[in-house]
């Protein structure tokens, strides 16, 4: 039963803004309102945030463990003891039969810092396995890798979000915050109201691009050439900051030589962006002092994603931006804890505090905190897609635990991943609903929701915030920390706390001295200060809202240029697959749609998956608005509903990835990986498009349904 008349300050369960909200609970239910003073939203919320409380009492909520007695049998209710005993037995069996790396975990960018930390510790200490990664590998890995090699550290925004309002020019590459982060648009609006200008690079004329002073609409997968082309113009016209380059960077000579080849008319032939627009963009950037360059998934989710981000970092460094007041380079984190989720050990190559797993000193430090020999810690394992692609194979994971991720929908080449899930000896899924991935599971564990537990997250600015528990979970629902603790105990390892404050205190000790140092942060301090920016190495330290103001955390304290060349996407249109497919988000839905497709207002606004086609392409195919359209790639087929618009390139179609089943866009996407970050190429592949003519009307209705 809900508590009587309590008011709790907490945060939205969705994106990396982590908008401040209040929850008021009484016997009649939960009322949600925005916090007027929280810095990222200042009283604003998007449609997802306003409706988030509807998830708490949803009738499809998982309210107890489920077990499947036979592989082809149904899931049935079970007790926690039965479920945990089964998991422990299966994990032991797989480890003994196939070795420790045959048991693994796949996490999520929505897990709190405490759960991400505890999950990494569980896999390496309890399972002794290298098999761990998470869906953030599909989100921020390219930007993180590029930032690490250029700046020595990855913090998506190295400055507060509010700095955007003070910029003179903002270059936004591959992002549509008007739909994906509406509360953040107030800062772009304030920038424009001051006379600031906005440049948007996107193959579509999105709601954000429609506000831009200049919209560059390139062929998908050619953003790197645009960055090199702008830097070519900046060098040619004397717009670069030679003093900054000399004093604070290294490696520019090779980049200067490389961009000589990217004269604007050549870039136009590569990208389709008119030479005059490219030159105008470069002059806008080079003619202002307060310039912010932002990249996001549209530029990053490519097999060349790391190099593409590096090209825009090169541009920012040449202009002297990083560390300057109200200027710099940043990448926009997407998932709720996309920043914190990649800092504390749920990546295959990482230990807490943003330490490297293959660094002997890092291993010694973490092993001491965990009370185990450093030699017992495994070496780095496979990245997310590589681990999923090898499920059930010799040398691959045979028993898998998936927490807060819906890989059957969100992974590239999703048909292949569904096949691999079916080949596992044993699958456990922890979630709040029966997701598409849970339908493959042998055991399903119900997780507490965002308002039913406490824990920290780190938002897109590097601000560590605290979600406070507002209501209790249903009686037979446990937190993921409780599940991890109970399973560790069954597998012979005590000392896995299930209290978030205790786990966070241990996380802070583990992070001490690392790049993401949380030593001086506590739950109490976060609550008193509206969050604390890392690094914060001691309780007396004020936190670090802005990085790079003096130097960079590299061995020589300088930022590094990296010469990069345009290679284009791994797959381009041909006679059989004559168009480009790109994927992305809609305003009303989030990630794989497990939550938002269950909220009436959001579902009614976008009830089915649509594919955006240019008017001329629709005319050529004989497709009208609302017709079913079949998309085919070398990996699979999907059927979506036509949405006809001149806002997309005529050679490109756009599909959202929030749906499962036959309308899943990731049945089509290309899993080829970036060699540096292991990021799959979600954002571009070759596709064939035609009008779908079903055998019966019911076939169309069955193609898209609420799951």
- Average pLDDT along the chain: 96
Please check whether residues 594 and 681 belong to one and the same domain.
yes
**586 vs 641: CA distance, rounded Å:** 14
CA atoms within 13 A on the CB side of 107: 34
Q: Is the pLDDT score of 704 beyond 80? A: no
C-alpha Rg value of the chain to the nearest Å: 24
Q: Is the pLDDT score of 227 beyond 50? A: yes
**Looking at residues 615-625, what average pLDDT do you find?**
97
Residue 510: its pLDDT value, please?
98
Please check whether residues 480 and 370 belong to one and the same domain.
yes
Assigned domain for 407 exists = yes
Residue 76: its pLDDT value, please?
98
pLDDT digits (tens, 9 = 90+) for 168-208: 999 999 999 999 999 999 999 999 999 999 999 999 999 99
Q: Which of 307, 331, 355 is the last residue of a domain?
A: 331
Please check whether residues 487 and 614 belong to one and the same domain.
no
Please check whether residues 475 and 611 belong to one and the same domain.
no
**Looking at residues 463-484, what average pLDDT do you find?**
97
Residue 437: its pLDDT value, please?
97
Residue 703: its pLDDT value, please?
44
Please check whether residues 607 and 511 belong to one and the same domain.
no
Q: Which helix (H) or strand (E) holds 399?
A: strand 399-403
**657 vs 672: CA distance, rounded Å:** 18
Please check whether residues 19 and 89 belong to one and the same domain.
no
Residue 696: its pLDDT value, please?
64
Of residues 108 and 27, the one with the higher pLDDT is: 108
**241 vs 230: CA distance, rounded Å:** 14
Confidence label for 697 from pLDDT (cuts 50, 70 and 90): low
Total domains present in the chain: 4
Assigned domain for 246 exists = yes
Please check whether residues 396 and 526 belong to one and the same domain.
yes
Please check whether residues 182 and 241 belong to one and the same domain.
yes
Please check whether residues 29 and 157 belong to one and the same domain.
no
Q: Is the pLDDT score of 237 beyond 90? A: yes
Residue 201 and residue 216 in contact, taking contact as beta carbons nearer than 8 Å: yes
Domain span at 467: 66-134+337-533
pLDDT digits (tens, 9 = 90+) for 484-506: 999 999 999 998 999 999 999 99
Residue 623: its pLDDT value, please?
97
Assigned domain for 569 exists = no
Assigned domain for 560 exists = no
Q: Look at residues 531, 536, 502 and name the one whose alpha carbon lies nearest to residue 520.
A: 536
Q: Which of 331, 351, 385 is the last residue of a domain?
A: 331
Q: Is the pLDDT score of 706 beyond 90? A: no
Q: Is the pLDDT score of 707 beyond 70? A: no
Please check whether residues 674 and 698 belong to one and the same domain.
yes
In Å, how far are 289, 338, 412, 426 from 107, measured between CA atoms? 41, 11, 16, 17
Crossing angle of helices 141-151 and 305-318, in 10° steps, is 40
Residue 131: its pLDDT value, please?
98
What CATH number has the domain bearing residue 213? 3.40.228.10
What CATH number has the domain bearing residue 599? 2.40.40.20
DSSP result, 63-98:
-S-EEESSTTSPEEE--HHHHHHHHHHHHHHHHHHH
Confidence label for 694 from pLDDT (cuts 50, 70 and 90): confident
**Percent of the chain clearing pLDDT 90 (strictly above):** 95
Q: What is the pTM of this model?
A: 0.96
Assigned domain for 543 exists = no
**244 vs 236: CA distance, rounded Å:** 17
Of residues 530 and 3, the one with the higher pLDDT is: 530
Hunting for tokens 């049998």 — which residue is that? 73
**Percent of the chain clearing pLDDT 70 (strictly above):** 98
Residue 71: its pLDDT value, please?
86
Assigned domain for 651 exists = yes
462 φ/ψ sector (left φ>0, alpha ψ -120 to 50, else beta): left
**Looking at residues 338-344, what average pLDDT do you find?**
95
């Amino acid at each position: 039963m809900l508590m009587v008349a309590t008011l709790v300050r907490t945060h939205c369960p969705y994106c990396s803004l982590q908008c401040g909200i209040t929850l008021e609970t009484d016997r009649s239910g939960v009322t949600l309102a925005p916090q007027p003073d929280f810095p990222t939203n200042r009283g604003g919320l998007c449609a997802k945030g306003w409706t988030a409380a509807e998830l708490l009492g949803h009738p499809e909520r998982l309210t107890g463990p489920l077990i499947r007695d036979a592989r082809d049998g149904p899931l049935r209710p079970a007790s926690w003891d039965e479920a945990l005993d089964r998991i422990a037995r299966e994990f032991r069996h797989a480890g003994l039969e196939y070795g420790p790396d045959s048991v693994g975990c796949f996490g999520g960018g929505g897990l709190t810092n405490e759960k991400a930390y505890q999950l990494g510790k569980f896999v390496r200490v309890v399972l002794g396995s290298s098999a761990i990664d998470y869906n953030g590998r599909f989100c921020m890995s390219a930007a993180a890798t590029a930032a690490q090699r250029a700046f020595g550290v990855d913090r998506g925004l190295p400055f507060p979000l509010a700095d955007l309002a003070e910029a003179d020019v903002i270059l936004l590459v591959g992002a549509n915050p008007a739909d994906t982060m509406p509360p953040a648009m107030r800062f772009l609006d304030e920038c424009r109201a001051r006379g600031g200008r906005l440049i948007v690079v996107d193959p579509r004329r999105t709601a954000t691009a429609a506000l831009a002073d200049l919209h560059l609409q390139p062929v998908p997968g050619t953003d790197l050439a645009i960055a090199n082309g702008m830097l070519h113009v900046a060098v040619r016209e004397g717009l670069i900051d030679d003093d900054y380059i000399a004093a604070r960077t290294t490696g520019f000579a090779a980049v200067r030589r490389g961009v000589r080849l990217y004269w604007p008319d050549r870039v136009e032939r590569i990208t389709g962006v008119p030479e005059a627009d490219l030159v105008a963009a470069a002059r806008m950037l080079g003619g202002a002092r307060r310039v912010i360059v932002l990249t996001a998934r549209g530029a990053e989710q490519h097999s060349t994603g790391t190099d593409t981000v590096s090209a825009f970092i090169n541009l920012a460094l040449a202009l002297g931006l990083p560390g300057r007041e109200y200027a710099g380079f940043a990448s926009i984190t997407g998932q709720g804890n996309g920043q914190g989720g990649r800092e504390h050990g749920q990546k295959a190559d990482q230990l807490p505090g943003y330490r490297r797993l293959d660094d002997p000193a890092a291993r010694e430090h973490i092993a001491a905190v965990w009370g185990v020999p450093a030699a017992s810690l495994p070496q780095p394992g496979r990245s997310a897609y590589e681990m999923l692609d090898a499920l059930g194979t010799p040398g691959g994971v045979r028993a898998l635990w998936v927490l807060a991720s819906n890989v059957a929908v969100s992974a590239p080449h999703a048909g292949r991943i569904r096949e691999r899930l079916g080949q596992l000896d044993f699958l456990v899924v922890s979630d709040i609903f029966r997701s598409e991935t849970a339908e493959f599971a042998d055991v399903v564990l119900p997780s507490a929701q965002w308002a039913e537990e406490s824990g920290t997250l780190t938002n897109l600015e590097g601000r560590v915030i605290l979600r406070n528990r507002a209501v209790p979970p249903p009686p037979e629902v446990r937190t993921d920390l409780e599940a991890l603790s109970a399973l560790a105990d069954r597998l012979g390892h005590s000392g896995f706390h299930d209290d978030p404050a205790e786990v966070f205190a241990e996380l802070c000790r583990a992070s001490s001295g690392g790049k993401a140092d949380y030593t001086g942060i506590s739950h109490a301090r976060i609550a008193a200060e509206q969050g604390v920016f890392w690094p914060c190495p001691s309780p007396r330290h004020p936190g670090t809202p802005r990085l790079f103001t003096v130097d960079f955390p590299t061995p020589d304290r300088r930022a590094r240029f990296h010469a990069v060349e345009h290679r284009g996407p791994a797959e381009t249109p041909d006679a059989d697959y004559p168009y480009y497919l790109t994927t992305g988000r809609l305003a009303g839905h989030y990630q794989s749609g497990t939550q938002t497709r269950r909220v009436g207002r959001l579902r009614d606004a976008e009830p089915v998956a649509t594919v955006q086609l240019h008017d001329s392409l629709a005319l050529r195919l004989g497709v009208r608005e609302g017709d079913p359209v079949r998309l085919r790639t070398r990996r699979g087929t999907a059927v979506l509903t036509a949405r006809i618009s001149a806002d997309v390139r005529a050679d490109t179609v756009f599909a959202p990835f929030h749906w499962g089943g036959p309308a899943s866009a990731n049945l089509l996407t290309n899993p080829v990986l970036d060699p540096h970050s292991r990021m799959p190429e979600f954002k571009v592949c070759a596709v064939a498009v035609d009008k779908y003519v079903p055998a019966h009307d019911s076939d169309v209705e069955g193609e898209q349904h609420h799951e």
